[in-house]
């Protein structure tokens, strides 16, 4: 659905993006992560057609994209961090206006459908400036979806929302993706990425430092959490004697975290079974992986 090949972007002497190459399959939901200034928003603006790359090629739905390729723009819905809304307009009026500039057939029907999809029906005749931040974000999402694009680009869509609004918006994104729409999501809230995304791309200083499924990234980190029914003092002693165990963290009398330099999970499990093993699971979070990768590049 989306392919970037050696995309670079320079602003004067500043290299914002350096030879980025990645692809996203149809129906995938991909998290696009990186610190502020890493090049995420620049890349998303290039994909959306709002900016042109200095070098490189962009393909959308197998077609080479240029700034003037209208067919490609019809395939894209873009929600920047601060959506360009007209505050004095009513919600329905604004969406009908978006239909007009995007040449949407049956604009009234499309508007009513997207009002339902984004749970905006009760706010249809309300002026945008009177809406809460959460509902303004929904209007921004609605304008991106009004023409039913195949690719949805979301740049910090939950920035500034309270926890309840974030959960509502996250559930809406999950509902919208549902296997038939490709989504590229940039956010600093890593729990959202774990809840929504199939895969992540992590960039720093304009270059990719990792891209894989969350499961595969976690499995590279050699750390497990062990929960037992019996107290684990003797288990700690046994684990300390193992040559490939590097660190043990005692969380409680029944819970441990163990780091190792070789995959010995089966041996750790065997040692824990006599202590009435309840659970042995990967202890690494996406946040741990992200921070390690970003720290390496700084």
Distance, in Å, from the CA atom of 144 to the CA atom of 146, rounded to the nearest integer, reads 6
**284 has a pLDDT exceeding 90:** no
pLDDT number for residue 70: 64
Are the beta carbons of 33 and 17 closer than 8 angstroms? no
What per-residue confidence (pLDDT) applies to 204?
94
Output the CA torsion 196→201→202→204 (10° steps). -140
DSSP string of 42-68? HHHHHHHTSS--SEEEEEETTEE--TT
| CA dist., res. 72 & res. 65, Å (int) | 6
Check residue 67 and give its pLDDT: 61
pLDDT(10) > 90? yes
- Express each pLDDT in 63-79 by its tens digit: 888 765 666 678 899 99
pLDDT at residue 66, rounded to an integer: 72
Mean pLDDT for the chain? 90
For residue 7, pLDDT over 70 is answered with: yes
Query: Is a pLDDT exceeding 70 seen at residue 277?
Result: yes
Task: Give the range among 47-56, 143-152, 173-182 with minimum mean pLDDT.
Answer: 173-182
* Predicted pLDDT of residue 47: 92
- More confident site: 169 or 112: 112
The CATH-assigned architecture of domain 222-282 is 2-Layer Sandwich (3.30)
Lowest mean pLDDT of 38-47, 92-101, 106-115, 153-162, name the range: 153-162
Q: What is the mean pLDDT of residues 231-236?
A: 94
pTM of the model: 0.82
pLDDT in tens, 105-147: 999 999 999 999 999 999 999 999 999 988 999 999 999 999 9
From the options 3.30.565.10, 3.40.50.150, 3.40.50.720, 3.40.50.300, give the CATH code of 2-217: 3.40.50.300
Listed by start position, the domains of the chain span: 2-217, 222-282
Residue 182, pLDDT score: 92
């Amino acid at each position: 659905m989306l392919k970037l090949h050696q995309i670079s972007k320079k602003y004067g002497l500043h290299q914002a993006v350096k030879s980025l190459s990645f692809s996203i399959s149809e129906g995938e939901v991909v998290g696009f992560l990186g610190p502020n200034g890493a090049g995420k928003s620049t890349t998303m603006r290039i994909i959306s057609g709002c900016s042109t790359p200095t070098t490189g090629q962009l393909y959308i739905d197998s077609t080479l994209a240029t700034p003037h390729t209208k067919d490609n723009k019809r395939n894209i819905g873009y929600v920047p961090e601060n959506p360009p809304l007209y505050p004095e307009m009513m919600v329905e009026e604004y969406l009908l206006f978006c239909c007009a500039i995007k040449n949407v057939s049956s604009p009234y029907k499309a508007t009513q459908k997207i009002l339902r999809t984004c749970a905006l029906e009760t706010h249809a005749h309300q002026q945008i400036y009177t809406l809460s931040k959460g509902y303004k974000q929904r209007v921004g999402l609605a304008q991106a979806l009004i023409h039913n694009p195949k690719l949805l680009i979301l740049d910090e869509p939950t920035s500034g929302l309270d926890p309840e609004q974030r959960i509502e918006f996250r559930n809406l994104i999950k509902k919208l993706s549902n296997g038939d729409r490709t989504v590229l999501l940039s956010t600093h809230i890593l729990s959202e990425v774990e809840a929504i995304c199939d895969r992540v791309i992590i960039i720093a200083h304009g270059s990719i430092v990792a891209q894989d499924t969350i499961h595969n990234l976690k499995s590279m980190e050699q750390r497990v959490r062990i929960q037992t029914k019996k107290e684990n003092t003797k288990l700690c002693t046994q684990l300390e004697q193992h040559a490939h165990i590097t660190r043990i963290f005692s969380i409680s009398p029944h819970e441990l975290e163990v780091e190792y330099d070789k995959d010995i999970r089966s041996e750790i499990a065997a040692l824990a079974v006599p202590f009435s093993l309840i659970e042995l699971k990967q202890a690494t979070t996406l946040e741990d992986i992200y921070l390690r990768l970003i720290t390496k590049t700084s």
